[in-house]
Structure 1
């Protein structure tokens, strides 16, 4: 027994650490031979089903076109309503829950097919953590209705691939959704980026202490209730984005803790933005999770996720850990940005938050290139990604057909408008098969461009590009 233990310890450094990361891939682990028993519909599906009962209330959150960043509220001026939620899975009786809900998203609030925020509560209207489909219990969930993404795959594909290489990416599960017993199509139930044991297991602050772990999001200021004062904001390095404190909130929030986060985040960013690295200032490596910054860059560039590093951009730091990015929202990736088309060539994140400075360090840039090369041989291999897409489509089966019948107008270009389609009209597909073909081809071309040009990132760390700069 002891010799075997010694052998294991000797071989441990040779084990690929990526293989140790566990990820539940619904299409691989859930049988398509199961049947979900519904007591209100006769659809035949193997997928879990969520039925939302609003008790006749209007769901708030629709965008108000005349006022940017403003959304409809109820007659009583509330931004969310209480709804009953039933979760059906297999032959079991439904899981009965209550939640406060509203429409969610930015431009997606104007889509015909809506997405929802679900905030579960108990009978006393207090937050209640609920486990969902094998995902750890939490009170806050996103019910994403892919609509502009005609493939229905972008967030599922990107989140799961990222979850294999990064310590955390939001877990996701496909479900079919009814609202007041009316079929609304195929949805993706997603974890929100929040502090909890099953998500970001951050250290809680001690009583009467201002020192705290934290989560911040950089996004459009008009979407925020308040912005966080920090180095990137007051130096306009993050413009036009601003930072919002996502944790601590509610009972764990204090003004003193917000000020601590502002100071800590400012210190971190100030260190990163110091110049020049060439004089040996590598202190930033002790403050950030360098590999996580590599992986965040790689997955978002492979998916040509234009918003990353500017909007919907999350970072967290545990009191005992380092600043780390978390992926979120790939709905607009792979040339699915509504207003503009983006070719498969070029970079998006080189001018993103932090990366505009990190790439000026030769060590960081070389490490990023090495990491990209490793991932493209294995986890992000083109053949593997294509097979992943095919297997997911096969798994979803008739749920795709039902969704596309419910939302058949999305393929009818005679109904083209600027809210529910890509601009211009010729960028839109005519059917689902074309959407999958478009997705695959763009990913393949994007991957090939990166394969052939990843070494050009070294130009950003060459002294000729930044030798004239100095800290102000």
Structure 2
């Protein structure tokens, strides 16, 4: 869409009488909001900026996905929600428009208690937003950007298009969506209390944003790379609840990061990789630069930090001024194809964004990640994105006609979508040229560290609760000593940074626990460290990675079959059957109830040749019989031979395919595990 047309659109919005538009049916959910009557006027209460006013909300959404009708508002089977709410208008620039965005809280019938509910398929919560799609004639920029961020593995607000009626007036097309908030299904970090003022409890969780203040007190300011400043605001805890110790702590994390970027300190021990979760900053930059988001780094710029974790960028938010769109009618035109938004001379954000890009190691990892996610069939490939755009347009075309009739803000939706796709193609081509290739990126060899035990739901013992007795075990499955500096667990819900200069010897096992005192008392050994949050009693992904985000090992356990059910609150823990098995598979784990029995290693077992071509010779050099089991690399049992007598030699493997096999030999209370290769 050209600039002249945008000017005309704004003029029309500001000067034309709003046209009446009646909604009777839709292919989208229909949201009907009725505020309580104002006792002074007897009319429905006008919705203010704040505080929230009380009302009722009905969401018509037929469970079979068929068309929805306003006349269904009294048919309980078609109501996805039918209850009380508190509602207010929200937003900054969008407040100038007649079509208002709303923030709402779902309430219980007492009008006070928050009512956590699942709405339109989104996880249960009580804080929601009705996004009015302000300043975006394509009606899809926010929705698309959040979708793309989720598609590459990050949390971004979920949403569902809907049509809205407020106090019997049709208000148009909206996105019913999640508000950024601490929650296990949203920003999954630990909530911090005012008494959490030392130790690991002080380290999180926090949500901080760079933004316009809109009346909120400024927590601190940071300089840009062009002489300006960026204002930072406490989001969670809120400014009125965070104490000075906590505020000073989280500001110190930003300051340390800033200083490390000024000096270009990239040491994994005390440089910027020790301050920030590098992959989150890379993904945040990719999503916002792909869309050329003019507000990306200075306005609605969110950061979060979990207890025991590093500072992370995101979630992405406020993505309407993107993909070539800007507030042109106010004299702004910044969402260009051929600029980096962190270096465009306006809204560049804190200088650490520009300094990051100047760091060659960071830039190389940025290029590597961009290459990965933009490959064919991957989420940020041009074809993948345009298919999603077409899908969105197909979904909202019907409602966009009513939106245009009501607000004159759309024009031709299909043309807007086509223009966006043309812009996107050129933007991707420019980014490919600027980022080049990742040939110079370091490719470290991952140490053979294996997540080998998980106790996620223990029984109470010695007066300690289940939460006190959780632990994970990591084994060094190699003959090399490993420096743990820079290694961490960093995925949402479970964070831990290994102490600088800590090491793990060959075949050594180390333990991380939820309570170091309880762990020592209950299990009789000391843990290396204490994690700041409890493991989920249902399912959790544990990802061990290096300082740059390269995965070393990962497991996502579950409390349901085929995972061993005895480990779910019945006294047992999960133990990997064999260190060489694929620990992402439930079949590779068993439930055990004795945590730290030492396993003796048989020394008098010979396996030769290794690698072997035709058959493998195995000789029992012990003076007692042994049993033998053979597994493939995925943990499947292939062969079992019992009672191999002392001194006996056997042959096997002639019918095996080429690949890696695990040989387990047990006897006289001893065990040996060896890896062999058939070439």
Change (3 A) 1:42 1:183: closer
**2:166 is the counterpart of 1:179:** yes
Change (3 A) 1:455 1:125: same
**CA contact 1:83–1:99 (8 Å) conserved in 2:** yes
**CA contact 1:301–1:348 (8 Å) conserved in 2:** yes
Greater relative contact order (CA < 8 Å, ≥ 6 in sequence): 1
2:211 to 205, 219, 222: 219
Change (3 A) 1:280 1:164: closer
Change (3 A) 1:94 1:240: same
Change (3 A) 1:54 1:278: closer
Q: Where in structure 2 are the equivalents of 1:147-186 lying within 5 Å?
A: 147-186=134-173
1:81 to 39, 49, 53: 53
Paired positions, count? 378
**Which moved further from structure 2: 91-100 or 364-373?**
91-100
**2:324 is the counterpart of 1:331:** no
1:45 to 26, 30, 40: 26
Of Structure 1 and Structure 2, the greater helix share is in 1
1:346 to 339, 357, 378: 339
**Other structure's SS at 1:410 match:** coil
Q: Which runs of 5+ in 1 are unaligned?
A: 1-40, 62-77, 412-429, 459-472
State the Cα distance separating 1:178 from its structure 2 match.
0.6
Change (3 A) 1:441 1:42: closer
Deviations 1:248-272 (A, max 9, x none): 23997444433433334434444x3
| CA distance in structure 2 between the partners assigned to 1:50 and 1:162 by the alignment | 26
Change (3 A) 1:431 1:113: same
State the Cα distance separating 1:355 from its structure 2 match.
1.3
| CA distance in structure 1 between the partners assigned to 2:357 and 2:230 by the alignment | 20
**CA contact 1:277–1:360 (8 Å) conserved in 2:** no
| CA distance in structure 1 between the partners assigned to 2:138 and 2:418 by the alignment | 9
| CA distance in structure 2 between the partners assigned to 1:279 and 1:201 by the alignment | 28
| CA distance in structure 2 between the partners assigned to 1:277 and 1:260 by the alignment | 21
Change (3 A) 1:440 1:97: same
| CA distance in structure 2 between the partners assigned to 1:52 and 1:240 by the alignment | 41
**CA contact 1:170–1:199 (8 Å) conserved in 2:** yes
**CA contact 1:128–1:139 (8 Å) conserved in 2:** yes
Of Structure 1 and Structure 2, the greater strand share is in 2
**CA contact 1:219–1:310 (8 Å) conserved in 2:** yes
**CA contact 1:277–1:361 (8 Å) conserved in 2:** no
| CA distance in structure 1 between the partners assigned to 2:438 and 2:212 by the alignment | 28
**2:96 is the counterpart of 1:110:** yes
Q: Which residue does the alignment assign to 2:265? A: 277
Change (3 A) 1:235 1:296: closer
Q: Which residue does the alignment assign to 2:48? A: 60
| CA distance in structure 2 between the partners assigned to 1:289 and 1:84 by the alignment | 42
**Which moved further from structure 2: 244-253 or 138-147?**
244-253
| CA distance in structure 1 between the partners assigned to 2:205 and 2:266 by the alignment | 31
Change (3 A) 1:244 1:250: closer
Change (3 A) 1:276 1:151: closer
Q: Which residue does the alignment assign to 1:296? A: 284
Q: Which residue does the alignment assign to 1:400? A: 400
**2:196 is the counterpart of 1:209:** yes
| CA distance in structure 1 between the partners assigned to 2:166 and 2:349 by the alignment | 39
Deviations 1:206-252 (A, max 9, x none): 6732213100010123x1421113xxx26677944211111123997
Deviations 1:104-139 (A, max 9, x none): 222111122211111333315243333211212222
Deviations 1:329-354 (A, max 9, x none): 11111121103223311111244333
| CA distance in structure 2 between the partners assigned to 1:282 and 1:359 by the alignment | 19
Structure of greater Rg = 2
**2:77 is the counterpart of 1:127:** no
Change (3 A) 1:93 1:193: closer
Q: Which runs of 5+ in 2 are unaligned?
A: 1-21, 37-43, 63-76, 440-679
| CA distance in structure 2 between the partners assigned to 1:375 and 1:81 by the alignment | 44
**Other structure's SS at 2:340 match:** coil
Compute the TM-score of the two structures, normalised by the length of structure 2. Answer: 0.52
Deviations 1:159-190 (A, max 9, x none): 10110113311111111111112221111112
Deviations 1:338-375 (A, max 9, x none): 03223311111244333122223211011111111111
| CA distance in structure 2 between the partners assigned to 1:186 and 1:153 by the alignment | 11
Q: Where in structure 2 are the equivalents of 1:135-150 lying within 5 Å?
A: 135-150=122-137
**CA contact 2:106–2:116 (8 Å) conserved in 1:** yes
**Other structure's SS at 2:118 match:** strand
| CA distance in structure 2 between the partners assigned to 1:308 and 1:323 by the alignment | 17
State the Cα distance separating 1:384 from its structure 2 match.
1.4
1:228 to 197, 219, 222: 219
Change (3 A) 1:282 1:370: farther
State the Cα distance separating 1:53 from its structure 2 match.
0.9
Change (3 A) 1:117 1:401: same
State the Cα distance separating 1:403 from its structure 2 match.
2.1
State the Cα distance separating 1:292 from its structure 2 match.
1.3
Change (3 A) 1:268 1:252: same
Q: Which residue does the alignment assign to 1:356? A: 354
RMSD across aligned C-alpha pairs, in angstroms?
Answer: 2.7
Deviations 1:144-168 (A, max 9, x none): 1114211111111111011011331
| CA distance in structure 1 between the partners assigned to 2:291 and 2:26 by the alignment | 30
